[in-house]
Structure 1
Amino acid sequence: MANPLAHAALNVALYGRPGRWAMTERGSASVRRDTGSLAIGPSNLRWDGTSLVIEIRETGVPLPRPIRGEVRVTPDALTGFSATLDDGGRHRWRPMAPRARVEVVLDQPSLRWSGTGYLDSNDGDEPLEAGFHRWDWSRAVMPDGETAILYDTFPRTGGDRGIAIHIARNGGVTPIASPPLVALPRTRWRLPRFTRAESGSARVARTLTDAPFYARSVVQTRLLGVDAEAIHESVDLTRFAAPWTQLMLPFRMPRALW
């Protein structure tokens, strides 16, 4: 089995202007970690007791433009909720901070803003493409500041899985009934996108990332009886594993030589 530390990367995506993208893969010699920090090449993440502090020292691709600065993620609450995403329990997901305060201070490019954010983790005992055909995920912040998350996974073995949860501001997690499935318009790469919404209606307000196997979008939807805006993603792992996609990956995810 491959060593995951030999394929480590910090992904930075800036939308709008000036847009930047970085996801440079590094080997295990460039990774340092302990119980409170993780360094990947020149960038590092550390937990200071109240916030996750991300120090970014990356170079964008395909244009080699610098991305330098700090992102501070301060959870409003932490959850103890975790879920398995397949029948064999080989893949797990945890929405650690369903709502957080985010402060961004970048020197290159010169940008500052603050807002709300989210922190979760996925981990597994095999590559994602070995375990899943695809998945659709979305997170909506409700008008009262609470959170609704929908996660539909389509494993290669066993039955499909659907997670639908409501998370209170104090981090309490309550399962909710899954709303009806809604087909969203395909991306320019013809990637299928689906979500769930009450009344069976939802629309894509903006597509943020449009890649051959992955799409991230802003979706207008209706959940828990109210209209809401959600961040949505669709991932097709069969497309990801296809030889033509693998040939394209180094242009978006180069590997550092040090």
Structure 2
Amino acid sequence: MSDDGARAVSVIGFIGSVFSPWYAWSGRRRPENHVCINVATYGPGGRFTMTDRGEAALRQSPDCLTVGPSSMRWQDGQLIVEVDEWGAPPLISRVRGRVTVTPRTVTNVELPLTGDGAHVWRPFAPDCTIEVALDAPGWQWSGHGYFDANFGTRALEADFSRWTWGRFPTSSGATCFYDATRRDGTRLATGIRFDAGGHAQEIAPPPPAPLPRSLWALPRETRADPGHTPRQVLPMLDAPFYCRAGVRTTIDGEETTGVHEALDLDRFRAAWLKPMLAVRVPRRARWKFAKD
């Protein structure tokens, strides 16, 4: 998110594109044949890109993930993302440039989201600076961000019905909240405080606090000190099953603005949703690198 709070960007690399209808229709048998670097920009001139690509577009090394024309590489303590994608309908235009993520520190924290470890959240760097340099007016800025990953051996909708997540920068580092309802009826309700050195401390999260429903009437809530009402300050992604937004809340007496996500996996697994998603997530099975 930019320092002035007016713009934001998210970049997600997928091997096994969990929100792709094409991957679901394939039976999820070959994750390497459904890969993607999803780039979304929020604010004036924002665009959404999510192209499901085949195995020919995938290249990996210990320090680099390349999917077709875009890549992520770890270099000199920074995550450098080279973007060259096309926005999804109805705003079809090129999204090209670089995003550089500089962690203040890298953690060794892993949080299993299910008892058997089939889903794991890995907050590599909850407190980062970012530099955005895209080929579009107004899309050269700096701000704060985070770098994390999720790993799983089963479909999300097989084990969860819904979840919310939030990452909020603080004067001493960052605080993250993970709340989920599992299919077996159990719940996850976790708060983790990260200090400037990357040390993590599990905390009792403050009480749940409701947010207004999304444009698709998705129920949302986050965490806030008693007596404080969180509010959305930057709309980001609004889909029938998923909502991402910039949210301002109060934690331990400190007002903070971070990124909040709400995911409804009951909606996501509905058959009627997949054809809608296919419009926004095109399939491009073939790819040839220039030196091939």
TM over 0.5: yes
Letter in 2 for 1:2: R
Among 32, 45, 61, the alignment partner of 1:34 is 61
In structure 1, what is the equivalent of residue 71 of structure 2? 44
Letter in 2 for 1:101: T
Q: Does structure 1 conserve the Cα–Cα contact (< 8 Å) formed by 2:164 and 2:261? A: yes
Aligned: 1:147 with 2:181: no
In structure 2, what is the equivalent of residue 212 of structure 1? 240
In structure 2, what is the equivalent of residue 56 of structure 1? 83
Q: Map 1:17-96 to 2 at 5 A.
A: 17-62=44-89, 63-96=91-124
In structure 2, what is the equivalent of residue 174 of structure 1? 201
Q: Does structure 1 conserve the Cα–Cα contact (< 8 Å) formed by 2:131 and 2:143? A: yes
Aligned: 1:125 with 2:153: yes
User: Which one is further off, 12-21 or 77-86?
Assistant: 12-21
Q: CA–CA distance in 1 between the matches of 2:97 and 2:78?
A: 16
In structure 2, what is the equivalent of residue 14 of structure 1? 41
Aligned: 1:161 with 2:201: no
> How far off is 1:2 after superposition?
1.6
SS in 2 for 1:73: strand
- Structure 1 pair 217–71 and aligned structure 2 pair: CA distance change class (3 A): same
Q: CA–CA distance in 1 between the matches of 2:55 and 2:96?
A: 23
Q: Does structure 1 conserve the Cα–Cα contact (< 8 Å) formed by 2:172 and 2:196? A: yes
Q: Which has the higher contact order (CA 8 A, sep 6+)?
A: 2
In the alignment, structure 2 segments of 5+ residues that lack a partner are 1-27, 287-292
Q: CA–CA distance in 1 between the matches of 2:124 and 2:194?
A: 11
Q: CA–CA distance in 2 between the matches of 1:108 and 1:203?
A: 29
Aligned: 1:185 with 2:208: no
Equivalences, count: 257
Letter in 1 for 2:194: I
Q: CA–CA distance in 2 between the matches of 1:257 and 1:91?
A: 27
Q: Could you say what the CA RMSD is over the residues aligned between the two structures, in angstroms?
A: 1.4
Identity of counterpart residues, as a percentage? 42
- Structure 1 pair 217–196 and aligned structure 2 pair: CA distance change class (3 A): same
Please report the TM-score for the alignment, with normalisation by the length of structure 1. Answer: 0.95
In structure 2, what is the equivalent of residue 231 of structure 1? 259
Q: CA–CA distance in 2 between the matches of 1:145 and 1:108?
A: 34
Q: CA–CA distance in 1 between the matches of 2:119 and 2:185?
A: 13
Q: Does structure 2 conserve the Cα–Cα contact (< 8 Å) formed by 1:66 and 1:109? A: no
In structure 2, what is the equivalent of residue 252 of structure 1? 280
Q: CA–CA distance in 2 between the matches of 1:14 and 1:225?
A: 31
SS in 1 for 2:36: coil
Letter in 1 for 2:243: A
Q: Deviations over 1:6-57 (max 9, x none)?
A: 1111111111221211010101111010111111011111111311111111
Q: Does structure 2 conserve the Cα–Cα contact (< 8 Å) formed by 1:221 and 1:227? A: yes
Q: CA–CA distance in 1 between the matches of 2:264 and 2:116?
A: 20
Aligned: 1:2 with 2:66: no
In structure 1, what is the equivalent of residue 143 of structure 2? 115
> How far off is 1:183 after superposition?
1.8
Among 240, 248, 255, the alignment partner of 2:268 is 240
